[in-house]
Chains A and B, each alone.
Chain A
Amino acid sequence: MALEVEKKSSINRREFFSYLSIGFIALSASVGGVLSLIFRYLYPNVVFEPAMDFNAGRPEAYDTGVDERWKKIYGVWIFKSDGKFVAMSNICTHLGCVPTWLSAERKFKCPCHGSGFYPNGINFEGPAPRPLERYKVFLDATGNAIVDKTRVFRYEKGEWSNPDSYISV
């Protein structure tokens, strides 16, 4: 007579492995879920930074040339010339420092690596590869200029002729 092997466990090998697979998938899913939650956690929902758009007041109230009043808060230079009112980014196009407006020399000069820009934002010296970027400007219903920094206009892409990039004054 062959030996009768008594069944000791209530589950067999096949069932054990199917439970194991379910457990493994559940564990992987929960670890993956927690990791993606942590990834999402590191993106703040609210940042305490200046708004991306602001009311710059009436364009006709500005003098011709470069105006620095919004530089410190919003990082924007207003440049008014040849009947156009534009808002310029104050971020150097080389590596992202903030140039200084040298009114005596009529140019922007970046302290980090010496890039220079004309008052209209065109680069002429130093390592900066392209002109300063311009932001969207438009007049609201009351005639105030609104600067919208979420929309950028680049000279090298021919975007400075886009009517959203300036206000005619």
Chain B
Amino acid sequence: MADNESFVEKVSKTQVWKSIFRHGPPNNARNRAAVVAGNVFLHLHPIKLKKSGVQLGYTWCMGGLTFFIFLALTVTGILLMFYYRPTAEYAYNDIIALREHVPLGIMRELHRWGAHAMVITVWIHMFRVFMTGSYKPPREFNWGVGVILLVLTMLLSFTGYLLPWDQLAIWAITVGSNMAKATPFLGNGGPGAAFAKIGDFALVSDKNDVRFQLLGGRFVGEAALLRFYILHCVFIPVVVAVLIAVHFWRVRKDGGISAPL
């Protein structure tokens, strides 16, 4: 072993280093490909990009920004869960405490601003994809996945809106969930529900329609708070994460990021 080896060279020859990084230094095309292909996080990404794919003026990086904000929201969201209790007794006070007593009182604001930013970037991303015609074959399936992700982003916003448990939250969700009441056949105020009757007995009523299932009750109460908390923190994020993986994979398989085919 030569004495003039640099520290980096020495470290990169240790068994620990080699056990983690099984390829050589990324100073040739083969190793650079191995860096991406041999990493579980990077391998969804294509090994090679077209030059146009990294032109900011073409993609605005809005999809990437949306993903970045999603990660930031995941981190801040998990941190908020250490202090927030989704019960009618504690929820509002815990939100106040997150600002007043907990160190880094900006954490909740980061989560809120991030949520607003993600809604904005996801719309701009959709706008860009539309304007560059990137929904056209063979990318039409991925457009569909993207539309579902857009709806899920909206649902994340909607479910998160209830969690502060203040008057604005409760009445906004009351008004919002009343839309479920108007679902055809499944909501008690929707078209078709008036006909689903046996004599005087309504088959679709406020105690068995979709709104009741969504809220776990007849009005926005403690059951609704817990349901929205679970949906916001676990259910929707897991579905979004799976669909993001599909979305990225299909970007790669459908001809790369938005270059003309």
Q: Interface of A with B (CB < 8 Å)?
A: 42-44, 47-49, 95-97, 111-112, 150
Contacts and interface: CB of A to CB of B under 8 A. Distances in A.
Contacts of B207: 47
A32 B250 CA distance: 29
Nearest to B222: A48
A47, A111, A150 interface centre (most CB from chain B within 10 Å): A47
24 contacts: A43-B208, A43-B212, A43-B213, A44-B216, A47-B207, A47-B216, A47-B217, A47-B218, A47-B223, A48-B222, A48-B223, A49-B217, A49-B218, A95-B174, A95-B175, A95-B178, A96-B174, A96-B175, A96-B178, A97-B171, A97-B174, A97-B175, A111-B171, A112-B171
Interface in B178-234: 178, 205, 207-208, 212-213, 216-219, 221-223
Contacts of B221: 49
A48 to B, nearest CB: 8
A150 B175 CA distance: 21
Given A47-B223, A96-B178, A42 B213 contact: yes
Contacts of B205: 150
Given A42-B216, A96-B174, 4 more contacts: A44-B216, A47-B217, A96-B175, A112-B175
Interface of B: 171, 174-175, 178, 205, 207-208, 212-213, 216-219, 221-223
B218 to A, nearest CB: 6
A51 to B, nearest CB: 11
Contacts of A96: 174-175, 178
A43 B209 CA distance: 9
A150 B188 CA distance: 13
A-B interface, 7 closest residue pairs, ranked by CB to CB distance from nearest = A95-B175, A96-B178, A47-B217, A96-B174, A97-B171, A42-B213, A49-B217
Contacts of B171: 97, 111-112
A48 B215 CA distance: 13
Contacts of B178: 95-96
B28 to A, nearest CB: 49
Contacts of A43: 208, 212-213
Contacts of B218: 47, 49
Contacts of A49: 217-219, 221
Contacts of B175: 95-97, 112
A49 B206 CA distance: 13
Contacts of B212: 43
Contacts of A112: 171, 175
A88 to B, nearest CB: 17
Contacts of B213: 42-43
Contacts of B217: 44, 47, 49
Nearest to A151: B200
A96 B219 CA distance: 10
Nearest to B202: A150
Nearest to A150: B205
A49 B207 CA distance: 11
Nearest to A44: B216
A111 B168 CA distance: 11
Contacts of B174: 95-97
B116 to A, nearest CB: 22
Contacts of B222: 48
B216 to A, nearest CB: 6
A30 B118 CA distance: 39
Contacts of A95: 174-175, 178
A47 B222 CA distance: 10
Contacts of A47: 207, 216-218, 223
A70 to B, nearest CB: 15
A111 B219 CA distance: 18
A18 to B, nearest CB: 35
Interface centre among B175, B212, B223 (most CB of A within 10 A): B175
Contacts of B223: 44, 47-48
A44 B216 CA distance: 6
